[in-house]
Chains A and B, each alone.
Chain A
Amino acid sequence: MHALSIAGLNKSYGSFKVIDDLNLNIETGSIHGLVGLNGSGKTTTIECILGLQAFNAGDITVLGYAPENLHKAKGKLVAIFDSASLHPNLTVRQCLNQASLLCDKPIRSAAQVEKLLGVDRFSNFKIRHLSLGNKRRTSIAHALLGQPELIVLDEPFNGLDAEGVDDVLQLITTLNKEEGTAFLLSSHQLPYLEQICSHIAILNKGAIAVSDTVSSLLAQTATTVLLKTEQPEQAIELVKQTNNINFVKSDESGYLHIALDDMNSAALNQLMVESQIPVSEMILKKNSLASLFREITSEASV
């Protein structure tokens, strides 16, 4: 069953098309990452999903409701925005007490969620006196008061220190596993998303360029080796003649970029040595979503 379903979403600001035929489904209980460059349409997509702005065409269903009727979901959907979106003149405790009014059945008290997010020390501080990171934690604490089925987080790691990021990642994983909460995370921080997401969608120029499970996406990217040698021409020739490896390019620093399809770095090193090509340096670049993301966004910008 889909917690969120988007079909053929289009959104323009005047003649400028921000979202172009976007399709995305988020399964119940999954953690879905939405990544994209600045201006790729992530926040606009989220605002359309949440009914905060109108769109030109397409269908969106969130937990069975259209975006303009999300209030009927009665707290089953929680959104944490890229800015704190909290009343600056309320204290942390007051903000959370106000938020609990919006929960159908609060399952945690304000004091409990303060402790979970590590803002209990600032309980009586007004929001305007908090640091960016603690505002962020308080904002995320909103989501923990009730038992939402879907949590949408826009740039959840902004302003958080390393400890804060770890706490949030841990919380997302725990809520997902223990309560089956589905997540849509929009972020630039691919390494964090890679750690916790079951699915990733890469948004480029208003459309989903790639959307799949993290493992499938990683399988699409090849491990690359950066190799330095005094005989680059011979090394390139050797790589071109060998199966399971591909020459990608040579860079300004003299490194040869070699993609390993079905060979490990040790075997490549052995091949070079056996061919009497001395290797002075060898750097292994493991496959990652970041490289896939760069590949997709650079392809599209060419």
Chain B
Amino acid sequence: MNGLLTAIRSEIFVALHTFASKLIVLAPALIVLLQSIIVKLSTASQQARDSLLGNSSFEDSIANNAYGYYVDGLSTGLTMLGLLLVAQAAYSFSYERDIGSLRHLLVRRVSRSSLILAKFIHLHVLAVLSLLLLILTSYVFSGMFWEFGPIVEDGFELISEAEIQEEIRLGLHLAIIPIPAAIAFGLFVSVCAQSATQAVTTALGITLALDIFKGLLGNFSNYIYASFQASLIDESYLQDVSRLVRGYSDVLIDDRVQQLNLWVPFPALLLFLALTILIVQRRKI
């Protein structure tokens, strides 16, 4: 299809031989690994101090439950992955346009729309690889440092492991849904910007501004895909799952918000992708 396969092969070839793509795949998992080690050291020193002072907490069993740390790892990793994907999406097209390497593809084999679709698909491949590595790293290291088990308080099982896993699955599902829209947003900024630097700063700037100021938007923020991304000021359901698996029983996902989380990112994705393809047809490359 107008060189789509060639463009994907070319994208993957460059990804295999350059650093940026490897960073996206590895960085979230490495950050989670680092976070797990730091938190383990911190909790171990806190427990040692409590033990020395004779303090004991009825929450010890909850504090030692690996599920909380596992979800924290996922949340941190997804926050990082989201930002990296937006930045890389903004960078990839604009940088290759700046250096002129896109021209070879366009002149020889690939249509402009195929080029955008190839980048979109390639970034999803990176996202999936990164996500799998992130889930694996977070799960393995949480299990290594703490113990997975149900939430038990005063000898009563508050939440079973099956329920916890179901909540984590839902939280992860809801947090992943906005990622394609984030990638499409990055590509949209990339084709609009005049340079790679401008593209990356604009895409990250808008993403972070949406994150910081979404509180000011009130109910309107529910109609912005970025509100459902795992982010620095997190309002995604994954953050609530983190509280849930630590024994907070007041966590309930609003059904309306869940529905918006499921459906808002799709129109945003289609809109950004359509605008990107429309603009790239008219741009000087």
A85–B101 CB distance below 8 A: yes
A142–B17 CB distance below 8 A: no
B109–A71 CB distance below 8 A: yes
Q: Which residue of B lies closest to A54 (CB)?
A: B282
Interface residues of A in 43-87 (CB under 8 A from B): 47, 50-54, 69-75, 77-79, 81, 83-87
**Separation of A70 and B105 alpha carbons in the complex (Å):** 10
B282–A71 CB distance below 8 A: no
**B104 within 8 Å of A by Cβ?**
yes
Report the minimal beta-carbon distance from A77 to chain B, rounded to whole angstroms.
Answer: 6
Q: Interface-forming stretch among B6-14, B127-135, B148-156, B180-188?
A: B6-14
Q: Which residues of chain A have C-beta atoms less than 8 A from B284's C-beta?
A: 47, 52-54
Q: Which residues of chain B have C-beta atoms less than 8 A from A90's C-beta?
A: 14, 17-18
Q: Which residue of A lies closest to B282 (CB)?
A: A54
Q: Knowing A53-B284, A71-B3, A90-B14 are in contact, say whether A85-B100 is a contact too (CB < 8 A).
A: yes
Q: Knowing A83-B100, A89-B18, A98-B10 are in contact, say whether A70-B282 is a contact too (CB < 8 A).
A: no
**Separation of A187 and B265 alpha carbons in the complex (Å):** 50
How many residue pairs, one in A and one in B, have C-beta atoms under 8 Å apart? 87
Of A51, A88, A89, A91, which contacts B107 at CB under 8 A?
A: A51
Which residues of A are at the interface with B, using a C-beta cutoff of 8 A?
A: 47, 50-54, 69-75, 77-79, 81, 83-91, 94, 97-99, 101-103, 142
**Separation of A86 and B99 alpha carbons in the complex (Å):** 7
Q: Knowing A51-B107, A52-B106, A81-B100 are in contact, say whether A71-B2 is a contact too (CB < 8 A).
A: yes
B100–A98 CB distance below 8 A: no
| B contact patch SS | helix
Q: Which residues of chain B have C-beta atoms less than 8 A from A88's C-beta?
A: 99
Report the minimal beta-carbon distance from A137 to chain B, rounded to whole angstroms.
Answer: 16
Which of B96, B103, B282 has the most C-beta atoms of chain A within 10 angstroms of its own C-beta?
A: B103
Of A52, A94, A103, which contacts B103 at CB under 8 A?
A: A52
**Separation of A240 and B283 alpha carbons in the complex (Å):** 59
Of A79, A87, A102, A103, which contacts B14 at CB under 8 A?
A: A87
**Separation of A189 and B98 alpha carbons in the complex (Å):** 26
Report the minimal beta-carbon distance from A196 to chain B, rounded to whole angstroms.
Answer: 22
Which of A47, A70, A77 has the most C-beta atoms of chain B within 10 angstroms of its own C-beta?
A: A70
Of A54, A75, A84, which contacts B100 at CB under 8 A?
A: A84
**B111 within 8 Å of A by Cβ?**
yes
